[in-house]
Structure 1
Amino acid sequence: MTDVTHQTVTEGPPAPEFLGRRRELAALRSDIARAGLDTLAGRPAPRCRVLLIAGRPGTGRTALAGKFARELAADGDHPDGVLHVRLTDPGGAAVPTGRAARALLDALGEAAPPGADDAELSDTLRDALQERRAVLVLDDVHDGAQLADLVPDSRDCLVVAVARGPLTGVPDVRPCTLGGLDRQTSVRLLARGAGPVRITVDPTAAESLAEECADLPAALVLAAGWLGAHPEATVADALHRMRTDHMGPLLAAAERPAEGGEEEDDDGAAADAGLADGPLRRAFGLVHASLPAPAARLLRLLTLAPAGPVDAHTAAALAGCPVQAARAALAEFATLGLLRAAPEPGQYVLPACFETLLHTLVRTQERPAEVVLARARTLERTVRRLRAAEAVTEPPGSAARRWLSGLPAALRFETGEAAAGWLDARRGALLAAARLAVADGGLDTLARRLLSALTHALVAHRGAGGAARELYELHGLVVEVATRQRLPRELAAAHLNLGDIDARAGRHTAALARYRAALDAARDERDQADTATLGRALESIGDTYTELRDRQRAADWYGRALTLAQSRGDLDGTARLHARVGAALACAEEWTDALRAWRAAGAAHRRRGDVPAQARALAEAARVLEHAGRTRDAERMATDALRLAVRAGDTRLQAALRLRLAEYADRQGDTPGADRHRAAADALLTHDASLLPEATTFET
């Protein structure tokens, strides 16, 4: 998930008092007013100013960026508020530019076309910010290229980037490098948890504890949290315990070199980078060692949850414990400094600086089977919750509503509005869960159920058009799973759905590629019976060539679909495809073949008993005859179509045919006949039957 928020200075719960960093805040403010290098060179850049807060995890870099951004918004210089997005996934991978841009657009309330590529989404974001004055906090930036793709062109906006170190490739970046806090602020931060009495009693131990934490805010918060949870302990006790490496035995397996001298993979390298951070590791070990075994296990398993806020229900599913126990544990973690309270009540965020340690603990302390089981429990609960969100939209008394009434209260929704609100609030986390399930590769059955349930829930509440953006990503994930599991029907259906969304967005070349992929999947030798999907793919290719104005190819593909429909005995499809062939050939001015196709369409509609459709087919055949220069034949065909239109009661078609017959009469010099037809057309268009000439009513 891309963790994104759109904040104003009045939103969210009251945050703890921000301590220290006065010098850094003043430096950041002065950098805004300072002329950039391009300006000094006489080439002012059109892009907004970028300020960089650089520091290792645990230095409070994200907190400083948030504090600075809120102050700017409160000053009124940026009335459009603060946008915050994290650009590195919990596993350490860079968030794709398109996903980050789309998340920012969502926070702005701006729509972006589904399936758009990274460049298009970046351009859309810049356009959306052109007339706005907002502060963008781009947190945990992976590299300079990632940042450059998201910097708006408007000089009225400001970007505050947060990264581990310097970023190359972004011009005129203002760096602010963070280390530890000043010692006085560090002691004040310890006093927040320990209370002023214990600090006053032993100020030397307090300063030594701050030094042991290297004055890092994250380590100090953990030490303060431990002191707050142990009122009987002294600051010296905390100092003594922190000097003991509680994490060493737990992490020993991760720190051993690979066998045979082989290099570790990227995950191992990332873990070692985090384990080398001594003060943060020891402070984390101080708190972790004080946790009961079930709570410590729950904390570790939180890293398996989708990125973003976590609630008690998700935590309970991960650990397989009661919701009430999970709720109490999460609150305790927040008190200890292991979690931060999210703006939404009952939800918490895991600080990024603990992710590496916890990922490593999962690898060393949890059996692989238990990890798989925890993920499976979470996916199963999410599937049931999504099915409940869909079921609440069904009519009372239906089978779905009866199933819903049998669910536990924690899983069901009482109203459709409640389900829709949950879907909107958890949309990012749900998509992240889908991505994680598919990437896992070992839970494909559950992943398919999750993708299906999420698709149906979104369509039930927002419609296919309103949920097109999410559906495009979900169908793409289905392609991945279906390819891996060799499921040609699901693969073909997913490609067709993706092609339909591409076609509606005007990306006809991309749609054509999707439809051809669906055709290949439907033709798979293991699934020859899937002729319905095959026919839809053939027809969709014809539709796409029609949009591309390649009428001959459109007619050819419609013809292939027609042959298949005839072989299946599909009379409805046969009638429809004859008409599509006729329309394509008429546009290509192939009059003889177009006439044959429209007549065949009329005959098929006659066999179906659809008189209105038969009348329309004959009307089109008359138009083809007219274009072919066979006016007499066109008049006779139009007269036959008019008789059918009268039988069908289709007044609009009757009026159109009357006007066409009036033109034919004018060409033959039959002025009275032309006047009668026009008078009849006027009567039909004004819905005044008294104006219809008596002599022109057709008898059948």
Structure 2
Amino acid sequence: MLALEPNRVISVDRLMDAIWDDEPPSTARVQIHICVSGLRRTFSALGLTDVISTRPPGYALNIPVENIDAHQFEEFVAQSYSLVEAGKPQEAVTALQSALGLWYGTALDGLQGRIIRGGALQLQERRLAAVEEWLRLELSLGHHVNLIGDLTVLVRDHPLRERLYAHLMVALYRSGRQAEALETYRMARATLVEELGIEPGDELRRLEQAILRGDGDIGDEAVTEQPPAAPRDTPIAAVQVVPRQLPAAIADFTGRTGTFADIVDVLTGPDGGEASGTVPTIVISGRGGVGKTTLAVQAAHAVRGHFPDGQLFADLRGGSGRPASALEILERFLRGLGVDGSAIPDTLDERAEIYRSRLGERRMLVLLDDVMSESQVTPLLPGSSGCAVVVTSRTRLTGLPGARRIELGVLERGRAVILLERILGEQRVRDEPEQAAALAELCGHLPLAVRIAGAKLASRPHWQLRRLADRLRDENRRLDELEHGDLGIRASIEVSYQGLPGPAKRLLRLLSLLETPDFPGWVGVCLLDEDPAEAEDLLEALVDAQLVDAGAGPAKSAPRYRFHDLIRTFARDRALAEDSAADRSASLRRALSAWLALAKEAHRREYGGDYTILHSGEARWSPPPALLERLSPHPMNCLDGERAALVAGVRQAAQLGFDELCWDLALAAETLFEARSYFDDWRSTTELALGLVRRKGNPRGVAAMLYSLGSLRIFQLEPDAALEALEPALRLFKEQNEPHGWALVLRNLAYVDSLRGDTKQAIRRYGEALEVFQLVGDRTSEAHVLSNLARSLLDGGEYAEAETYLERALKIARDVGSRRSEAQVLYRLGESALRQGQIDRAGRSFTLALRIVRDGADHIGEAYMLYGLGQVYVREGRHDQAHMILEQSLALAVRVGERLVEGRVRHELGEQALARGRFEEAAARLGQAVEIFRSLGLPPFEARALVGLAEASDGLASEEGAHAAEDAARAAWALLAGLDSVEADGLRDRLALRQPVAVPGTPRATG
């Protein structure tokens, strides 16, 4: 069943129907769960995980469709049709042979059950259609002699398929066997008359006449004509009583245009019940207050003319504590249909029999409102296909066979405002359009809430809309404000809440305490500290009750869940009233600890262990191991899905005063924020945690957050701001006798030194940090320092020693399994090779690093690697390819806000334009690079770009260019005076050797 519909959720109810038809045993659901567990173990033994996922309301087979033979078959068939259209019949034959070669006997042979056999018949029909097309093509290619044997067997196995008889007649006739061709026609006619009582179709009759005439060219195109549809007889019943039980339609009904039209089409369209022999049934589900009854009643009034024999309506009170029974509703319906009370039997079955008999010859609409379960509905379904049923429910009622299900959500923003306008009048809303939109937003675009707000304002014509909007902004009073007369949001939600079992109520209350906009299914395990399977069942009970929404996660990952704002407010009120402060605090601490564990595990997998990071010493709640396994094989992608939750978690930990948990979570989340350039999230979470640890007097936490803030400023290339955070962090770590933290800060300070061109101080600080990392066993940080030391040595022209450091760093990165660190070291090796003129080796290093960063979706790393490859292409003389790949690097750097790469690429493109004599382009690009490097405070980079700008401006051969060249040269000389490196010496030589163009009126500068 799962393979017949891959990557789609198959409900447990449908699986039960497929296995046991209409007679499932009492243990059916348990047996299905056991089967799924067995299948998962089988897949797991073959090294395949997460092949079958649990997704409400059932299971899904997660598998690329190309791994399913039926899909491969369809692909080959589609390919054959494309080849026919392209005039390639022989290639089309080959494609069909490949398709048919996938078959081994009958599809799903040996499996029983109505649904399974239906799927098998569909597959078998597609196979026969492909066979017929293959035969047609073979005949068109003149291969008739070789087909006669196959066709004879096919006709025997499928005696009612006229197309096969036609193909056999053509093959026999073209082989000179006219008599046998005519005998085939007689055999076809006899079979069809005997089995179906019909004569052969036009195609066979035309073939017979052509053979009798001895036509020299009998066509091989199959012509299939659909018989005209038989006229539909509409029985007309003698109706004594015509019930008209529908509630009144609502004058201010708005929105739901597409859904409304779909309902009307199902109830009145040509695909309705009489065409299929079934009763059209529509189930409209949604949370309380979303407008299910309003929509159903409005649609029922719209189709009254299609059901002239009457309309029945019943409120089954599914949301109340005392739902109506089918026995009770049938009594009311029978009385409405004219049955005398004394003639109504006592039992449910007998009442249902009379009910179906009364509706048997009538065209009636039955509207069942607020249904709790399928058991309420089943006895109330008519037996006549001339009738139709509309059901509304707070649950999805997936067990009603053949029902068209419509999930009703809140109104669109504009529609909610229109509803308010229809209640209050156009002028009042147009006077305060912004406040009207705010009111709709504060009502969560829930129709009932909007109606209550509108009714309240209508009863207070002296109120401005702003007044009610301001009152609704107080979340503690919002539900109280949304009460008017008999209408109330709290009461509507209370109905659904009271229908839950106790543990599900507790989960709803605890979930509402989370500040995150959405959450994964496993969070219930943390809040309840319960068995994962039980927690998952409770969460699905909340989804079924429409108190929690479920939606697809990113990239087809596990589903995400979220609250409607008003339901969250209700649930929080209940949590404050029913749960102790200690229970709420402990539950939230467990949930936040789970997100921390997820971030820590992602960091370990990204960096090969607990390297390059610090953690607080507070005891944590440990999530189930299966939760951490969700990170595999792409931990950053998984953690990215929790990005909003991580930010909200830091904010909530700060609000609750969990200082150790707060700074630990903020620092662990930095792994994601750095890898994906989420600098705003990095800054906001770090500053929140820093404020808390300062208030709490937590010096280690303060040092950690200052270190993180300094790291962020380095990534944003703000060296002065970085120093403001890193220097006090270094002092605090020393005071706390925290050598690991001290070394991490010192490493970053050394990097700032290198950016500013102070190579000697950078090397000294890197050396001190390296000793500590080796002492505490932080191998990834050791590799980082070795790589950065190598960069400083490369600037000094000490290539051999630099490469020794890089080889050590590469071995460490590979030993610990840190792919990110490996890519960074490979980039340095590529730089080293470029400087030594080893172009092939540089290209290999950059290419390998590019694969790694792309696999990890590291866009900053990708920009760097493309820049490196662009330099390789330049050195190889492949200027067009170099320009293309450098432009790609530039676009990526601009998109992710990586200004250093942006400046370096602009500089490189400017140098290439300069080498080609394109002085205007060169001056423009190099000028942009100068501005970037100057704004970032990077003298070495700025000096390099200024030298190129001076040369480009010289080439303009104009007075303006000459002035620009002299300005650039003077600025470059000033910067180079403070730089001491091999590269700085080379730049000074370039300036000394440049030949300014003499322009009248412009004095020549001297070195």
Please report the TM-score for the alignment, with normalisation by the length of structure 1: 0.40
Please report the TM-score for the alignment, with normalisation by the length of structure 2: 0.29
Task: Report the structure number with the largest CA radius of gyration.
Answer: 2
Q: Which has the higher contact order (CA 8 A, sep 6+)?
A: 1
